[in-house]
Structure 1
Amino acid sequence: MKENNTYAIVITTTDSEAEAKRLAKALLDARLAACIQILQIESLYRWEGSIEEATEYRLEIKTRAELFEKIERLVRDLHSYEVPEIIMLSIEEGSTEYLNWLDGEVGSRSEEFDTDGNDT
């Protein structure tokens, strides 16, 4: 087991599978994530004084914690929600092999990536 607070799961939600996949592909292309799981969920939440209910798609973005600000910027720029959920949960422990793989998959292009998906 590798113990470290270097790694994180960033969570966001969208209202469509197409938007979830578009965000996931942009994050992967930018090398801001090693793996993103997309799950269909049912959400109940308060919005503008009412209780709302909706089918949403949750993205679980496996990454390094140091990339959170870049992930947040990309998600905000591409997201359709006025106030998207963008939260980070620390990974306290994980298998050494998995976290080594994650390290190898994120970060090498992120320094050169702008939020429009273009290399700079």
Structure 2
Amino acid sequence: MTHEIVIAQTTSADEDQAKALARGAVESKLAAGVHIDAPIIAFYWWKGKVETAQEWRISYMTTTDRLPALEAWLHEKHPYDVPQWITLPVSGGSEAYLSWVADETAQG
């Protein structure tokens, strides 16, 4: 059985915010699991100048079916004006893990 699994990523300004965005998505069944990476340093253009910030990367494991709802939820909850939102296709993996992601995010 093949499941269309994706990893969606965003960042947050602090660890507590990252944990809230992670827990909320899992509790809402929008993601089967979430990883939060240790602080990273980001460099980016913002309003005409180069900025730097410490951020936490949040990676959501979900399905393509749940991705639109996860994205809408994230944009509603995220405090950034323009939060990072990228998706990475999962082209392989253990069937047991892929099934788990699909099962945990299945609606009703």
In the superposition, the TM-score normalised over structure 2's length comes to 0.92
Q: What pairs with 1:1-120 in structure 2 (closer than 5 Å)?
A: 6-39=4-37, 40-108=39-107
Deviations, residues 41-91 of structure 1 (Å, cap 9, x unaligned)? 111111111111110011010010121111111111111100011111110
Structure 2 unaligned residues grouped into runs of 5+ = none
CA–CA distance in structure 2, aligned partners of residues 107 and 87 of structure 1: 22
Amino acid at match of 1:9: I
Q: Partner of 1:114 in structure 2?
A: none
Q: In 2, are the aligned partners of 1:13 and 1:20 still within 8 Å (CA)?
A: yes
RMSD over aligned Cα atoms:
1.4
Query: What percentage of aligned pairs have identical amino acids?
Result: 32
In the superposition, the TM-score normalised over structure 1's length comes to 0.83
CA–CA distance in structure 2, aligned partners of residues 78 and 85 of structure 1: 13
How many pairs were matched up?
107
Deviation at 1:31, TM superposition (A): 0.4
Q: Runs of 4 or more off by more than 6 Å in structure 1? A: none
